[in-house]
Structure 1
Amino acid sequence: MNTYPSCALMIGLLALGAGPAQAHSADEHAGHGPAKPRLEATRVTFADVPLTDQAGKPIRLEKDLLANKIVVMGFIYTRCTTVCPVVSSIMGKVQQQLGGRVGTEVQLVSISVDPLRDDPPRLAAYARQFQHGPGWSWLTGSSQSITATLKGLGSWSPNLLQHPPLILVGDGNSPHWTRYYGFTDPAVLVREVDELSSLHRKARRTVIAQDVQP
């Protein structure tokens, strides 16, 4: 599977990410520039802690968003003007390509790594730059809840400026997910969603067939 975006795509994604940005510290994401995309299998756990979405609604990650869904998940903070807008733009393109499947069989999730500043109104304003319909939750919470959530997902960093460009894709019913580092082509993420959806449907058909056997 080719995870390397073309030069034209990379330039386009960088342009999308830079559009709404303001001038920012040169130290932001120091050492984490647009590295070549790579992927790795991982095992995740879902911390059962209270979170809040961009509408101020209380959320439990696994119970309310992930169960029985194929999930595409990113990590951002709204003050970031380099890596995070590009990651969010990639996820926005995934949402556009999946269309009405998002919100039904697919759930998009973006988790703020800066919960002290990213309250629900701030996340809602940020989300409007990238979101193209329902099925995309932007989450914040207490520092303790966010830390527990990120550690369970293997995405915690003691310094938010150092968090890498990262998107996770997986089945919400399984602990076995895939990490995509760097600026991954949205089409690659969509193919992964399609493969997981096919496996998910096949597993459901097997369970139903077993249930109806005499």
Structure 2
Amino acid sequence: MNRFNLQRLLTVCVLAASVNQAYAHSAEDHSQHQAPAARLESTRVEIVDVPLVDQDGKSVRLEKDLLNDKIVVMGFIYTSCTTVCPVVSSIMGKVQKQLGGRVGSDVQLVSISVDPLRDDPKRLADYARQFQNGPGWSWLTGSAPSISDTLKGLGAQSPDLKNHAPLIMVGDGNSSHWTRYYGFTDPQVLITEINKLSGLRVHAKHTAIALESQP
């Protein structure tokens, strides 16, 4: 093998190792996961009215306090996860950065811990600092029954914590019809859906005003 081909082979091997390292999961976290391909599906959700706790230790109700009248981006994580969960949180962080002041105004970000036994508010607050930049992003935990009921209603419960699927959901907090995004979704795809939902709201508002103005 000549020097050029040897150098090319070594380059390919390094790139392959880098990709594998980026997506590989430790034996403790997601031991059976592979790099997930992004895909989406429409879904119907049920927002369960149970008490949850945010990263500041404040008691909140998901629908009443966070989702009501907002376009929502929701992810599912746990703080001891060292691979998939940071990627999901990073994607949401990029969404927050690109939307700027809209987050906390007409858009709400929500991350729900799927490991409430370990993820108390302080632990979530420490974790959130790695990804959050500004207001409008709530990190939620709660009692095991409350989290379980919440995840069931959202269709996001996994029987095996270590093998939960990377998932982000986008929806209108005033509607039960949402979109699930599995895998590592491009933030711009999520922003496109957010803008679409915002546009539908504006259209519905204008239509209602036009109908009211008719004799």
Same fold (TM over 0.5): yes
Report the AA paired with residue 186 of structure 1.
Answer: P
Asked whether 1:42 is paired with 2:43, we answer yes
Distance 1:32 1:135 in 2: 31
What SS is found at the alignment partner of 2:57?
coil
Cα distance in 2 between the residues matched to 1:43 and 1:91: 22
Q: Any idea what the Cα deviations from partners look like across 1:92-150, whole Å, max 9, x if unmatched?
A: 00000111000001000000000011000110000000001000000000000000000
Specify the alignment match of 1:94 in structure 2: 95
Distance 1:26 1:94 in 2: 30
AA paired with 2:109?
L
Deviation at 1:208?
Answer: 3.2
Give the TM-score normalised by structure 2.
Answer: 0.86
Distance 1:41 1:75 in 2: 17
Q: Corresponding residue for 2:200?
A: 199
Q: How many residues align?
A: 198
TM-score, structure 1 as length reference: 0.87
- The alpha carbon displacement at 1:203 in A equals 1.3
Name 1:4's counterpart in structure 2.
none
Deviation at 1:25, TM superposition (A): 4.5
In structure 1, what is the Cα distance between the partners aligned to 2:123 and 2:208? 43
Distance in 1 (CA, whole Å) between partners of 2:145 and 2:212 is: 42
- 1:9-24 pair list within 5 angstroms: none
Q: Say yes or no: does 1:55 pair with 2:56.
A: yes
Q: For residues 27 and 205 of structure 2, what CA distance do their matches in structure 1 show? A: 49
Residue 137 of structure 1 corresponds to 138
- Supply the distance in 1 between the matched residues of 2:213 and 2:33 (Cα, whole angstroms): 53
Q: Which residue of 1 aligns with 2:177?
A: 176
TM-fit CA distance, 1:213: 4.3
> In structure 2, do the counterparts of structure 1 residues 145 and 162 end up closer, same or farther at CA, with 3 Å as the change threshold?
same
The answer on whether the counterparts of 1:33 and 1:83 sit within 8 Å (CA) in structure 2 is no
Q: Return the index of the structure with the highest Cα Rg.
A: 2
Q: Secondary structure at the match of 1:157?
A: coil
1:25 to 1:37, Cα distance in 2 relative to 1, 3 A: closer
CA distance in 1, matches of 2:181, 2:32: 18
Aligned residue in 2 for 1:107: 108
Gaps of 5+ in 2: 1-17
What is the CA-CA distance between 1:212 and the residue it aligns to?
Answer: 4.4
AA paired with 1:87? V
Identify which range, 202-211 or 145-154, moves more after superposition.
Answer: 202-211
Q: What is the alpha-carbon distance in structure 1 between the residues aligned to residue 27 and residue 42 of structure 2?
A: 32
Distance in 1 separating the partners of 2:191 and 2:110: 15
Partner of 1:64: 65
Correspondence 1:208 to 2:209: yes
Aligned ranges for residues 20-31 of structure 1 at < 5 Å?
A: 25-31=26-32
- Tell me how large the CA RMSD over aligned residues is: 2.1
For the residue of structure 2 that corresponds to 1:39, the secondary structure is strand
Bigger Cα displacement from structure 2, 121-130 vs 29-38: 29-38
Cα deviation digits, residues 17-66 of structure 1 (max 9, x gap): 99xxxxx8524113322211000111101000000100011110011110
Structure 1 residue runs of 4 or more that deviate by more than 4 Å after TM superposition: none
Q: CA deviation at 1:205?
A: 2.3
